[in-house]
Structure 1
Amino acid sequence: MTLLEVRNLEVTYPGGAAAVRGVDLSLAAGHTLGIAGESGCGKSTLALALLRLLPAGTRVTGEILLDGEDVLAMRWGRVRAVRWARASIVFQGAMHSLNPVHRVGDQIAEPIVLHQGATAAAARRRTGELLRSVGLPVARAAAYPHELSGGQRQRVMIAMALACDPRLVIADEPTTALDVMIQAQILRLIRRLVAEQDLALMMVSHDLAVLADTCDRLAVMYAGRVVEEGPARRIYEDARHPYGKALSAAFPRIGEPASRFAPRGLAGDPPDPSAVPSGCAFHPRCPVALDVCATQDQALREAAPGHLAACVHTRTPVADTVDTAEVSVAEETGETS
């Protein structure tokens, strides 16, 4: 059963920056969807738009259906009721999201009291259960945010997101500020909670390896659009869009010395959302672009069963066309073969 369906979502900030352009996505209960891309590709804007958390003056069009109800058409009172109770978000950077002058237990208990009408005693009991579920001792409820480690604060944020038993959890870069060991612990925790509580999870990250290890499906965004979508592991191992391939190659892989000694990347930066190039937005950075790419945008089309890509080379694996990473490195260093 589809829990979340996004149809033709467009988000334009005051001043004309088109951060999200015509995005279509769906997510079923008990499933996980990763949203990948560089900074500035529209990932976090998409996540915030789902719960109407964007700044005043932002223009949002399209449909965001949560259990069939359009979030964009809701009155504000209804939106406030939906947040926490049906859908919640784990923000990037727990230290900036937690109130520094309140104990973390009180911050977890607050939505339980407000949204579920629980007594203070019941909220404290529920807070203890939530802390245990994320691997923290109940005694940490009395701590202030600055008294916790980065990993502990992130666990508190996850406990807060689960406080009112939502069906959808949106995690915006939940492990970015954490070291590798703590990141692995948080990812194991997220996978366990999704399985145990039958949650629908949307996870935002720039790291394809993290998303491939955590999510069922993956949507790669560039310049506000989804340019590739499909099974997460398949995209990580065999991307059919040059941008997806570049993201996958950007991180060294354990057991592959070549990826450590010859780091790969992609020259340049995503375009300014207020000045997106014509045609395929990726063509100025794409090493396999054709003339048509500069004038004609590419729609998502089937690259393999259940795997879509918006590229003229969709039917041919990108690796068979040209090695995106090698061309990018050559461009940056000025080397030619």
Structure 2
Amino acid sequence: MTLLEVRDLHVTYPGGVAAVRGVDLSLAAGRKVGVAGESGSGKSTLALALLRLLPPGTRVSGEILLNGEDVLTMRWGRVRAVRWAGASIVFQGAMHSLNPVHRVGDQIAEPVLLHQGATAARARLRTGELLEQAGLPAALASAYPHELSGGQRQRVMIAMALACDPRLIIADEPTTALDVMIQAQILGLIQHLVTDQEVGLVMISHDLAILADTCDRLVIMYAGRVIEEGPAREVHENALHPYGKALSASFPHIGDPASRFAPRGLAGDPPDPADLPAGCAFQPRCGEALDVCAREDQFLREAGQGRRAACVHVPVPAEGSGAGRAAS
């Protein structure tokens, strides 16, 4: 069953900043999709659009179907209900997301009280259950955010995200600020919860290795578009698009001294969304670009085994093969 389906999503900020351009995304219950890309690629804007958390004045078009219901056309009362019971989000900086003057237990209990109509006693009981589910003792409900470690705060955020039993969890860089050991624990916890509770996970990161270990499928974004997608480990280990190759090579690999001491980066910066270059947006930074790349934008092409890539080097399927042109 398809839990989330995004169709031809466009997001433009005031001033003509095209942050997301024609993105398609599909996710089934119990599955995990990773979204990767540099800062400015549009991945966090995509996450915010899924729950209509974008600032006023932002233009949004397309469809965001959650359990078949379009989030973009919902009434505000329905959107507020969906944000907890239908889908929830775990932000990157837990210390910035938690209220510093309220105990964490009260913050976890709040959505249970408001959205599930629970009594105060039931909300306290549920808070303890959620903390233990997130790997923390129930007694920590009386703590303030500053009394907890970074890993503990992130677990509190996960407990809050699970408070109303959502069917979809969006995790926006949930482990970036954590050390490697705690990062592994948080990722393991997220995977365990998704598997046990049959929820869908959209996980956003710039680190392809983390997404390859955590997710079933991987989507790579650049300049607001999906430029490659497919099975997560295959995309990480054998990217078809030059940008995907560069992202994968930019992190050192364990056991490979060459990549450890001289990781391969990518020259230049992502383009300004308000002033995108003609043709393929990646062409000015691409070492494999052809003349046609500067003239014509590239679309996602079927590349076999559930993979697609928006690159001129990916052959266009022959007519009659059943693979059509896909929106990027």
TMscore range, shorter length: over 0.9
**Structure 1 position 256, deviation (Å):** 1.6
Q: Residue type of the partner of 1:52?
A: R
**Structure 1 position 117, deviation (Å):** 0.3
Give the corresponding residue for 2:40. Answer: 40
Give the corresponding residue for 2:142. Answer: 142
Matches within 5 A, 1:177-196: 177-196=177-196
Q: Residue type of the partner of 2:268?
A: G
Q: Residue type of the partner of 2:194?
A: V
Give the corresponding residue for 1:197. Answer: 197
Matches within 5 A, 1:161-176: 161-176=161-176
The DSSP-based 3-state class of the residue aligned with 1:46 is: helix
Aligned residue-pair number: 316
Give the corresponding residue for 2:69. Answer: 69
User: 1:190-222: CA deviations, max 9, x gaps?
Assistant: 111111111100000000000000000000000
**Structure 1 position 121, deviation (Å):** 0.5
Give the corresponding residue for 1:13. Answer: 13
Distance 2:250 2:159 in 1: 32
Give the corresponding residue for 1:271. Answer: 271
User: 1:62-100: CA deviations, max 9, x gaps?
Assistant: 000001110000010110011110100001100000000
Give the corresponding residue for 2:262. Answer: 262
Q: Residue type of the partner of 1:80?
A: R
**Structure 1 position 315, deviation (Å):** 4.4
CA RMSD, Structure 1 to Structure 2 (Å): 0.9
Distance 1:21 1:278 in 2: 15
Give the corresponding residue for 2:91. Answer: 91
Give the corresponding residue for 1:155. Answer: 155
Distance 2:204 2:314 in 1: 24
Distance 1:9 1:88 in 2: 20
Give the corresponding residue for 1:221. Answer: 221
TM norm structure 1:
0.93
**Structure 1 position 304, deviation (Å):** 2.3
The DSSP-based 3-state class of the residue aligned with 1:118 is: coil
Q: Residue type of the partner of 2:218?
A: L
Give the corresponding residue for 1:132. Answer: 132
More off after superposition, 295-304 vs 140-149: 295-304
Answering whether residue 101 of structure 2 is matched by residue 101 of structure 1, we say yes
Distance 1:140 1:63 in 2: 40
Distance 2:87 2:78 in 1: 12
Distance 1:246 1:227 in 2: 13
Q: Residue type of the partner of 1:50?
A: L
Percent identity (aligned): 80
Give the corresponding residue for 1:123. Answer: 123
Give the corresponding residue for 2:54. Answer: 54
Answering whether residue 82 of structure 2 is matched by residue 82 of structure 1, we say yes
Distance 2:277 2:305 in 1: 30
**Structure 1 position 262, deviation (Å):** 2.1
Distance 1:122 1:55 in 2: 35
Give the corresponding residue for 2:113. Answer: 113
Q: Residue type of the partner of 2:36?
A: A
Give the corresponding residue for 1:305. Answer: 305
Matches within 5 A, 1:207-246: 207-246=207-246
**Structure 1 position 261, deviation (Å):** 2.3
**Structure 1 position 138, deviation (Å):** 0.7
Give the corresponding residue for 1:288. Answer: 288
The DSSP-based 3-state class of the residue aligned with 2:303 is: strand
Q: Residue type of the partner of 1:214?
A: T
Q: Residue type of the partner of 2:66?
A: L
The DSSP-based 3-state class of the residue aligned with 1:113 is: helix
**Structure 1 position 303, deviation (Å):** 1.8
Distance 1:315 1:28 in 2: 29
**Structure 1 position 276, deviation (Å):** 1.0
Unaligned runs of 5+ in 2: 317-328
Give the corresponding residue for 1:332. Answer: none
**Structure 1 position 52, deviation (Å):** 0.2
Distance 1:51 1:109 in 2: 21
TM norm structure 2:
0.95
User: 1:265-320: CA deviations, max 9, x gaps?
Assistant: 0001111110111111000000000000011111101122201000011249xxxx
Q: Residue type of the partner of 1:260?
A: R
Distance 2:180 2:264 in 1: 20
Give the corresponding residue for 2:321. Answer: none
